[in-house]
Amino acid sequence: MTNNIKIAPSILSADFAQLGAEIARIDAAGCDWIHIDVMDGHFVPNITIGPQVVKALRPHSEKPFDVHLMISPVDQYIDAFADAGADIISFHPEAGPHMHRTVQSIKARGVGAGIVLNPATSLSCLDHIMGDIDLILVMSVNPGFGGQKFIHSQLEKISAIRKMIDASGRDIRLEVDGGIDRATAPLAISAGADVLVAGTATFTGGPDKYAENIAALRGQ
């Protein structure tokens, strides 16, 4: 299964003074997706970047841009991030009143739609949306900051979601974000994850280490 694992470095841990170059470096180092954390200082206690920055970064890699929106309300920004070059847009059920409508708005732009589950978010929110989504992102930390410790209780949730995906018969990616490193990556993979978001674990050691770091997360 490790051959099917996708690594999506979170640029939250990159050098913000040279984001374009950093994206080119992780692309060359063998990443599969580029994970972009968008925070508004309201839904989560941090502020990062907006659609104009995503648009500016788009020319630096042809890899899929995996855009995680930690903003509320979310609906009014979908078009802006789709226009900026997002290939996948994920959002939290708590970020808007009509989850299905939000998914449909994302899909209408020809972009993959993802649902993000915080550590305490119930799986029940997935019951009537599995036929419409392309990705489920399990947060193995509370969202808002990089460098947090992996919450091991989320492994049970990952396993449960893997069973739901398999039962659906659909090609839904199961992504895990938070505290992913060389020790926790195998645990997430064993539980059923097939996309790993890794910020600190990718960018630690500087550009010369990016390829080694990504390969290690993949289990190579």
Average the pLDDT over 203-207 and give the result: 97
The pLDDT of residue 174 is 98
The pLDDT of residue 190 is 97
Percent of the chain with pLDDT over 70: 99
- pLDDT tens digits, 94-131: 998 999 999 999 999 999 999 999 999 999 999 999 99
Evaluate whether 49 touches 10 at the Cβ level (below 8 Å).
Answer: no
Cite the active site residues.
37, 177
Question: End-to-end distance of the chain based on CA atoms, in angstroms?
Answer: 12
Q: Which residue has the tokens 């789709």?
A: 82
Average the pLDDT over 132-141 and give the result: 97
pTM of the model: 0.96
Query: Is pLDDT of 92 > 80?
Result: yes
Evaluate whether 141 touches 114 at the Cβ level (below 8 Å).
Answer: no
Binding residues for substrate: 10, 68, 144-147, 177-179, 199-200
The pLDDT of residue 3 is 62
Q: Taking the domain 2-218, which CATH number applies? A: 3.20.20.70
Binding residues: 10, 35, 37, 68, 144-147, 177-179, 199-200
> What is the band of 173 on the pLDDT scale with cuts at 50, 70, 90?
very high
Arithmetic mean of pLDDT over the chain: 95
The pLDDT of residue 220 is 75
Q: Which residue has the tokens 């939000």?
A: 102
The pLDDT of residue 200 is 95
- pLDDT tens digits, 29-59: 999 999 999 999 999 999 999 999 999 999 9
Strands of the 135-139 sheet, one edge to the other: 6-9, 195-198, 173-177, 135-139, 112-117, 88-91, 65-70, 34-39
Q: Where are the domains of the chain?
A: 2-218
Average the pLDDT over 155-170 and give the result: 97
Helix (H, G, I), strand (E, B) or coil at 77: helix
Query: Is pLDDT of 1 > 90?
Result: no
